[in-house]
Amino acid sequence: MEFDIKPNRPTRQDCMMPQTFEQLIKKYKLDSMWDNIQKIVEEVIEQNSGYVVKKDGIMYIADCNILDNAEKVLRLGKNGALEYSDNGINGDYQTIISINGVINANFIKTGEIDANKVNVKNINADNIITGNLNADIIKGGILTLGGNNNVNGELRLLDNAGDGIATINKEGFVLENGTQLIGGNGVLSNLQFGQYEWKHVGYSTNYLETNIGEYLYINIPIYIPENFNIESAKITLYHSPVKWSYINKSVWGYCRNLKLYIKEEDDNYYENVQLNSEVFPENNLFTDEIINAFGVDGFTASNADDNNHIVQSKVSIDIKSFLKTNTSLILQIKSGNVIPDLNPDIYDVFQENYLNQTGNVKAIIDIVGKIK
């Protein structure tokens, strides 16, 4: 390659260049090594900001016309490599473009690179300080955050307003409000058990012939797997009043002093049925009360009448400390009051004082925790 150096502009002061060699190299696309060399040399000549000197079969582009005084030197050697030195002709050279077209990435400071032509073996995330990394070009492989030298990595998700949604770090997968979806104890899960249909709770009026008053209650059987770590457990109780009507009168009923009880299910449970005998209602009452589950005075619904008969709800205290895993448990909701005395109405058929203390109840227990 021969060049006839004839500057078209006034000569600039020796040892001054308007652009660095790195800038010149970045100015052109790096598709062809020889085309780039040609364009770089031509621009240096056109600007008259550098000097081309051929010595001992090597072409130099320097910032001074006297090579021994030059500081920044670009050379094209016999090996075909384009090399750069910033401490003179005899300084340490860095290869910019090798004979086989390999480009030294240290000289790529800006511009665009076609990722289809780049084979990346590893990226040190410490060198990615700012800017945007387009995830559309990440097609496979493993993304590792943290780990080396006990460093904790973190991935944060933002919405389109830049507000936080969730974070993945050493604590697990955590929502912005602090809820841990995945952590050391497993995956956040919810178990739910309940009496999902309305059921009368109060006192029975169906067995007056026995002269025995009976409680009406609901039972909720639950089973929690052994690999479930309980974080919280609360019952939501729903109550609706009942309008009892018979003959030519009616009575509004609602529950009083509802309390929560618990027991382990008996492994030896069986049903004993006496045929051809009088039928008695079941009255399996639990004595292990969860104190103050619905408040110090239990749950008592509002007085109901034709103008006031709303559905009410009550959330219990956290009862996780009363629960066990890998065990069949039964929760029972019933009135904590002593059953009223028998006092049939004038028709000697119905217990009005039973009816007015009996309402409709359903209840659901939500058990939140981590399952492994």
Q: Report the phi/psi class of residue 34: left, alpha or beta, with left for phi > 0 and alpha for psi in -120 to 50.
A: alpha
Which residue has tokens 């509004």?
Answer: 252
Question: Does residue 31 carry a pLDDT above 50?
Answer: no
Return the CATH class of domain 186-371: mainly beta
Residue 326 is predicted with a pLDDT of 92
Question: For 117-143, what is the mean pLDDT?
Answer: 63
DSSP 8-state assignment for residue 198: E
Which pLDDT score is estimated for 294? 97
91: part of which helix (H) or strand (E)? none
Torsion angle in degrees (nearest 10) through CA of 12, 17, 18, 24: 130
Ramachandran sector of residue 371 (left: φ over 0; alpha: ψ -120 to 50; beta: rest): beta
State pLDDT tens for residues 84-125. Answer: 888 888 888 888 777 666 666 666 555 566 656 666 556 665
Statement: residue 347 has pLDDT above 90: no
pLDDT in tens, 284-316: 788 899 999 999 999 999 999 999 899 999 999
Q: How confident is the model at residue 13 (pLDDT cuts 50, 70, 90)?
A: very low
pLDDT reading at 222 higher than 70: yes
Domain extents in the chain? 21-107, 153-184, 186-371
Within a 10 A sphere around the Cβ of 327, how many other Cβ atoms?
Answer: 12
Closest-CA residue to 254 (of 301, 314, 203)? 301
Instruction: Let me know: does 300 contact 185? Beta carbons within 8 Å.
Output: no
Distance of CA 330 to the CA centre of its chain: 33
77 has a pLDDT exceeding 70 = no
CA distance 330 to 193: 10
State which amino acid sits at residue 349: V
6-27 burial, b at 16+ Cβ within 10 Å, e below that, comes to: eeeeeeeeeeebeeebbebbbe
Residue carrying structure tokens 């944060």: 156
Q: How many CB atoms sit inside 10 A of residue 283's CB?
A: 13
**Count of CB atoms situated within 10 Å of the CB of 123:** 10
231-268 pLDDT, tens per residue?
899 999 999 999 998 778 889 999 999 999 999 987 66
The predicted structure's pLDDT at residue 198: 97
In this structure, what token pair is assigned to residue 209? 């012939």
